[in-house]
Amino acid sequence: MSLKIFGTRDTGPVSDAVKRHWVDTKLPAWARPYARLARWERPIGWQLLLWPCLWSSALAAVAAGNAYPNPWHILLFLIGAVAMRGAGCTYNDLVDEKIDAQVERTRSRPIPAGQVTRAQAKLFMALQALVGGLVLIQFNLFTIVLGLASLLVVAIYPFMKRFTNWPQLFLGFAFSWGALMGWAALFGKLDTAPFLLYAGGILWTIGYDTIYAHQDKEDDALVGVRSTARLFGSWTKAALVVLYSGATVLFALAAAFADAGPFAFAGIALGALHLFWQIVVLDIDDGDQCLKLFRSNDRYGWIVFAGFCLEALVSRL
C-alpha cells in the first residue's frame, strides 16, 4: 500500500553514501529515496552547513560576555541546517538530473535512478523548506530578513558549474552564511567580526570542496562541468595552502574583533594544524582518500567551536 501511495522505488543506496546507514536499514522502503534526496545518510553536509552558525553563536557569546552560546539558538540552527541542507540538495538534484545521470558517482541518486519522480522531489523540497521557514521565524526580524537573503545564493549555486571554474566560491557564499546568522541572532545586527568569520568560511569551503571535487574530475571533464579541482589541477596543494592560510587569518581577525582571548586563538591554531595535515597527506588521484579528507572537516569544526566555547566560559570565571 505504501508504494502505491508514495510511488517510490528503492533501487539501493547512492554509491558514495555511508554504508549500512540507518537510512538503508531502518527506514521503510518507500521513505528511503526521500532520505537519500535529503542526504540524511551523509551527515557531513549539514554538519559543514551548521559549523559557521555555531562558530558565530559562540563568538557572539564571547563578545557579549556570556558564558556559553544560546542553547535555543544552537537547537534552531541544528534543525535548520538539516532541513535546509536537505532542501538544497533536493533542489540541486532537480537542476542537475541530466548531469548526474552521466557521472559515475551521482547516477545512483534518487532522481536519475528513478527512485522518485520530479513532482515528488519538488513536494519534498517544499516540505523541507517549510521546516526551515518555521525555524527561521523563531529569530528576531533582522535575522529573518538575513536568512531570507541567503536564498538568492542558494538558488543560483547549482548553475554555477556550467558557467564558471569557481562554483566552490558560490558554495562558500551559501554554506558560510551561518557565520552572519549566529551573531545576528544574538545582537540583532552585524559587526566586523561576523563578516570576517564569513569571509574565512568562504575560503575554508572552497578548500574542502575542492578536495571533494577531485573525485569527479574525469567525469566532469567529459560532461563539461567546471570546478576548482579541474582549475587547480596539479597545483591543488599550493592553492589549498593559500585558501586554508587565508581562512585561518580571517578567523583569527574575527576573534580579535570580538575581543576573544587565548583559548579562541588556541582553537584556531589547532584547527590550522588539522587543515595543513589535510594538505600534506592529500592525494588528488585517490577518490576514496579525498572523500575521507573532506569528511574530516567536521573535526575541524569541533576544534574551532571548542576553542570559542572555552573562551566564553573562562572569560566569565
Selected residue with higher pLDDT from 203 and 317: 203
- Which conformational region is residue 114 in: left (phi greater than 0), alpha (psi within -120 to 50 degrees), or beta? left
Task: Give the cell for residue 71.
Answer: 542553547
pLDDT per residue as tens digits for the range 12-31: 777 666 667 788 888 888 98
Which of these, 134, 138, 137, 213, lies nearest to 170 by C-alpha position?
A: 213
Question: What is the DSSP annotation of 26-65?
Answer: TS-TTTHHHHHHTTTT-THHHHHHHHHHHHHHHHHHHHHT
Question: What's CA 231's distance to the chain center, in Å?
Answer: 21
Lowest pLDDT segment from 12-21, 76-85, 145-154, 253-262? 12-21
- Give residue 108's pLDDT band: very low, low, confident or very high (50, 70, 90): confident
Q: What residue has cell string 584547527?
A: 271
Q: CA-CA distance, 154 to 86, in Å (whole number)? A: 12
pLDDT per residue as tens digits for the range 254-298: 999 999 999 999 999 999 999 999 999 999 999 999 999 999 999
Q: CA-CA distance, 72 to 59, in Å (whole number)? A: 16
φ, ψ for residue 163, nearest 5 deg:
-120, -15
Is the pLDDT at 43 greater than 90, yes or no? yes
Percent of the chain with pLDDT over 70: 96
Lowest pLDDT segment from 4-8, 121-125, 255-259? 4-8
pTM: 0.92
pLDDT per residue as tens digits for the range 192-210: 999 999 999 999 999 999 9
pLDDT for 180: 98
pLDDT for 205: 98
Q: Mention every residue, 6+ apart, whose C-beta is less than 8 A from residue 170.
A: 153, 156, 157, 160, 164
Angle between helices 236-257 and 192-213 (to 10 degrees): 160
Q: CA-CA distance, 182 to 236, in Å (whole number)? A: 32
Task: Give the cell for residue 183.
Answer: 551573531
Task: Give the cell for residue 36.
Answer: 537519500
Lowest pLDDT segment from 10-14, 142-146, 217-221, 252-256? 10-14
Q: Are 205 and 168 in contact (CB under 8 A)?
A: yes
**Domains by residue range for the chain, with CATH:** 25-315 (1.10.357.140)
Which of these, 88, 260, 73, lies nearest to 181 by C-alpha position?
A: 73
Lowest pLDDT segment from 2-16, 202-216, 217-231, 297-311? 2-16
Question: Longest C-alpha distance within the chain, in Å?
Answer: 61
Is the pLDDT at 160 greater than 70, yes or no? yes
Task: Give the cell for residue 207.
Answer: 578548500
